[in-house]
């Protein structure tokens, strides 16, 4: 079976997307003080800055035919007549396409996060929030760097932004209310991304993508904490009508994020008609299982900031078949930190062993007659 080429990233003339962003720049002359917890998070953000060139071992090999060690059962085409028609080479190429599609959406989402965090610096009314959002902007730039490099150097393939992700970013950036970049990005897009990152980090057999995802998740744990603090304080001051407007935004945004996971673009590149591709992905047992945990990091955050009305609860029960509501978010975020630190320790220990062996070999050579 001849596999069509992947859809390319939009070329010259279509490689830019301009969104007329709402809102205003908010200056404050109150330079002293601030919320202690938010300032502590800002300090942590400064302390945890890292260099993607040095921290990640880009010399680690990745098998382009199976970049993530993906089992057959995780691919929506598995078990269908389309899968039966694919030969071994086409199945390997399918894995490459899926990895490229997943990491492309991660990349586009991280650029959206970088722009949204810059918007928070501009529009947040308090200086402590501006401080932290400035460190997050640097974090997101680094994430764009690592995902872009992974796609370019290891997969040599990328996909354009998914329509659902693009739509939610558009809604988030066009809204003039200063808290909407927090809600759209910090809670919805990054909350869902953390779930997807965590699933891949914990299941991939490849060391490079595992480390890359773990290090990005370590940063994202701070970003989610930032959004929770800032929105919780603000939403306590809002009336029922204003809260209901934000709950409606949450429900619509989560429907978009749920649909983003289908990856029908990949199936279309393998000769599957779009309507059939949608049906196949909706019937995928693996995808249904993932959707039960999809909002596991979003639900506790919404509850914490005060956007957990009966209407939102009903919508989420339908979105994820009743799953994802009892997650201990603080425990998950703490685990994200621990995993990244453990990977660092393992790498440094391996490097120390290699250096010690090299010294021993040199001493042995020097002692020979």
Report phi then psi at 60, rounded to 5: -65, 135
- Residue 65: the pLDDT is 86
DSSP string, 102-156: HHHHHHHHHHHHHHHHHHHHHH-SSHHHHHHHHHHHHHHHHHHHHHHHIIIIII-
Q: What pLDDT is attached to residue 355?
A: 64
pLDDT at 7: 43
Collapsing DSSP to helix, strand or coil, 184 comes out as helix
- Pick left, alpha or beta for residue 191 (phi over 0 → left; psi -120 to 50 → alpha; otherwise beta): alpha
**Domains recognised in the chain with CATH numbers:** 54-358 (1.20.1260.10)
Q: Is 212:150 a contact under the CB 8 Å cutoff?
A: yes
**322 Rama sector, left if φ>0, alpha if ψ -120 to 50, beta otherwise:** left
How far apart CA 303 and CA 310 sit, in angstroms, is 11
- CA 20 remoteness from chain centre: 24
Alpha helices in the chain (DSSP H): 36-47, 52-55, 81-85, 88-123, 127-149, 163-174, 180-181, 190-203, 207-235, 240-260, 264-268, 274-283, 285-293, 299-305, 310-319, 329-367
Q: Are 262 and 278 in contact, with CB atoms under 8 Å apart? A: yes
Whether the CB-CB separation of 186 and 224 falls below 8 Å is answered with: yes
Residue keyed to tokens 């090299």: 358
Inter-CA distances, 50 with 3, 342, 344, Å: 40, 16, 12
What pLDDT is attached to residue 8?
Answer: 44
How far apart (Å, rounded) are the C-alpha atoms in residues 34 and 42? Answer: 11
Among all chains, which residue has been given the structure tokens 């919805």?
188
The rounded distance, in Å, linking the Cα atoms of 107 and 199 is 17
Name 314's Cβ contacts closer than 8 Å, sequence gap at least 6. Answer: none
Q: What pLDDT was estimated at residue 321?
A: 62
How far, in Å, CA of 281 to CA of 275, rounded?
10
106-128 residue pLDDT tens: 999 999 999 999 999 998 888 98
Distance CA 70, CA 76 (A): 12
46/343 Cα distance (integer angstroms): 21
Q: Which residues of the chain have pLDDT under 50?
A: 1-13
Mutual angle of helices 274-283 and 285-293, in 10-degree steps: 60
pLDDT at 324: 52
Q: Specify the DSSP class assigned to residue 324.
A: S
Cβ-based neighbour number of residue 349 at 10 Å:
10
> What is the distance between the alpha carbons of residues 98 and 79, in angstroms, rounded to a whole number?
17
| Contacts for 70 with CB less than 8 Å, ≥ 6 apart | 95, 98, 99
pLDDT at res. 1: 44
Q: What is the pTM of this model?
A: 0.87
CA–CA separation, 118 and 238 (whole Å): 24
Is the separation of the CB atoms in 264 and 281 below 8 Å?
A: yes
pLDDT of res. 11: 37
């Amino acid at each position: 079976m001849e596999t069509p080429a992947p859809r390319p990233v939009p070329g010259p003339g279509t490689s830019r997307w301009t969104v007329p962003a709402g809102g205003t720049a908010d200056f404050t002359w109150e330079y002293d003080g601030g919320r202690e917890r938010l300032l502590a998070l800002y300090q942590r953000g400064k302390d945890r800055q890292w260099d993607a060139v040095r921290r990640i071992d880009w010399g680690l090999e990745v098998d382009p035919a199976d970049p993530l060690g993906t089992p057959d059962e995780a691919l929506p085409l598995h078990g269908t007549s389309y899968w039966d028609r694919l030969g071994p080479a086409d199945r390997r190429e399918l894995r490459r396409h899926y990895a490229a599609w997943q990491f492309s959406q991660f990349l586009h989402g991280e650029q959206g996060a970088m722009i949204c965090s810059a918007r928070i610096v501009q529009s947040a009314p308090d200086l402590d929030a501006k401080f932290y959002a400035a460190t997050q902007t640097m974090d997101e730039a680094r994430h764009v760097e690592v995902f872009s490099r992974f796609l370019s150097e290891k997969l040599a393939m990328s996909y354009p932004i998914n329509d659902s992700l693009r739509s939610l970013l558009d809604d988030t950036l066009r809204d003039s209310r200063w808290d909407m970049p927090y809600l759209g990005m910090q809670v919805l897009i990054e909350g869902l991304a953390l779930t997807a990152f965590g699933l891949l980090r914990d299941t991939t057999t490849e060391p490079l993508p595992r480390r890359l995802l773990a290090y990005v998740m370590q940063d994202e744990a701070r970003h989610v904490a930032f959004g929770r603090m800032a929105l919780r304080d603000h939403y306590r001051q809002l009336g029922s009508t204003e809260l209901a407007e934000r709950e409606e935004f949450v429900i619509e945004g989560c429907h978009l994020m749920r649909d983003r996971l289908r990856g029908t673009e990949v199936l279309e590149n393998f000769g599957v008609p779009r309507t059939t591709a949608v049906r196949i992905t909706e019937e995928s047992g693996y995808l249904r299982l993932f959707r039960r945990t999809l909002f596991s990091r979003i639900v506790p955050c919404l509850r914490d900031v005060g956007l957990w009305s009966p209407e939102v609860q009903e919508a989420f029960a339908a979105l994820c078949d009743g799953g994802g509501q009892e997650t201990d978010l603080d425990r998950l975020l703490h685990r994200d930190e621990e995993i990244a630190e453990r990977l660092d320790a393992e790498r440094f220990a391996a490097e120390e062993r290699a250096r010690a062996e090299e010294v021993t070999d040199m001493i042995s050579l020097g002692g020979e007659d």
